[in-house]
Amino acid sequence: MTTWLLRRILQALLIVGAMSVTVFVAVNVIGDPVEVLISPEATQEERARLIASLGLDQPLWKQYLNFVSDALRGSLGNSFVYNEPALGLVFSRLPATLELAVLALLIAILVGIPLGLYAGLNPDSKASKTIMAGSILGFSLPTFWVGLVMIMVFAVQLGWLPSSGRGQTVEVFGVRWSFLTADGLQHMLLPAVNLALFKLSMVLRLTRAGTRETLSMDFVKFARAKGLKPARVIGVHVLKNIMIPIVTVLGLELGSLIAFAVVTETIFDWPGMGKLIVDSIYVLDRPVIVAYLMMIVLLFVTLNLIVDILYSVLDPRVRLESRT
């Protein structure tokens, strides 16, 4: 287990290294920030001074080496726009995105698994067919459109929920959270549901497919032949088996929830990382873009690692193979 873990961590570090090169090169290709940052009336000398101060006069490989040596000391450079450490800027927006993503994930799990289980257990009932049809809408309608419709219906016409911002926040451990206040939760609800809709449909369909498949297995019939109550057969024998693919997918999807909250955050004006990255791309604020992308890379790598470990907890067969 330990060697396996060490090997996995080493692999993860290699991926981070490779990604840093890709990200750095890609960001340098998409455009010249100087054009955006400097007013057209600036003289040639002012231009040169600014370029030198940003370190953009050096060759790309040198810029990269500087970036890596800074990164190893925990700095990803200063934002061109805010002149603050880029990493700090990204981190200051992290809690907003994180709480949104976690709430969306919770909605996806708490609604998706029970509905999927129901649809899997009663495949022919009207309710199940309605649920399945709804789930097709859930992952085929574009997020931005659903978000706009939700704002129109629930915020504008019914006036039940606010349409933008984080609402009232509470500071805990120096970080501002929305989910701890009633007003904040109200503000979170629409964007979280919007963000959750796709994952919810996916969890639902995954659960239903897993339930249908597992129910036909001999061990389920054997469990019933032992005289177990249906609650135990479904709740333990079936559910524990279908949790394996669901945990895998959800672990990876948490990463994409955070990474792709961009659309939802933009529509609901949620001041998270997604909003920051969109704004930064407009002004070609390279350090912030790089810092954000590197953080997403780290996030995915870490989540993959956690999923692998969780997987081995859930599935004893994986546990044994990984030891050898």
Partner 1 sequence: MTVTSVTDRNSPTLEVQDLKTHFFLKGGVLRAVDGVSFTVGRGKILGLVGESGSGKSITGFSIIGLIDPPGRITSGRILFRDRDLSKLSEKEMRQLRGNRIAMIFQDPMMTLNPVLRIDTQMVEAVLAHDKISKQEARARARDALGMVGIPSPEERLSAYPHQLSGGMRQRVAIAISMLHQPDLIIADEPTTALDVTIQAQILAEVQKLARDHGTALIWITHDLSVVAGLADEVAVMYAGRIVEQGNVDSVLDRSLHPYTHGLIGSVPSQNRARKRLVQIPGMTPNLLDLPPGCAFRSRCAHADMACEQDPPITTPEPNHALRCFHPQREYAA
Instruction: By CB under 8 A, name the binding residues for partner 1.
Output: 217-219, 221-229, 232, 236-237, 240-241, 244, 314-317, 320
Amino acid 128 reads S
- Residue 265 contacts residue 274 (beta carbons within 8 Å): yes
Nearer to partner 1, 223 or 307 (CB): 223
Helix ranges restricted to H, the chain: 2-29, 33-37, 44-53, 60-72, 86-121, 126-140, 143-150, 182-215, 218-225, 230-232, 239-259, 262-267, 273-282, 286-314, 316-323
Nearer to partner 1, 176 or 224 (CB): 224
Residue 248 CB, shortest distance to partner 1, in Å, is 14
Residue 109 CB, shortest distance to partner 1, in Å, is 19
Residue 224 CB, shortest distance to partner 1, in Å, is 6
Q: What three-state secondary structure class fits 289?
A: helix
Nearer to partner 1, 299 or 314 (CB): 314
The first and second tokens of residue 271, run together, are 């001041």
Residue 108 CB, shortest distance to partner 1, in Å, is 23
Nearer to partner 1, 29 or 225 (CB): 225
Nearest Cα to Cα of residue 257 among 99, 22, 23: 99
Residue 223 CB, shortest distance to partner 1, in Å, is 7
Nearer to partner 1, 62 or 323 (CB): 323
- Residue 258 contacts residue 97 (beta carbons within 8 Å): yes
Residue 32 CB, shortest distance to partner 1, in Å, is 56
Q: Whole-angstrom Cα distance, residue 247 to residue 300?
A: 15
Nearer to partner 1, 73 or 229 (CB): 229
Neighbours of 248 (CB within 10 A): 18
- Residue 275 contacts residue 266 (beta carbons within 8 Å): yes
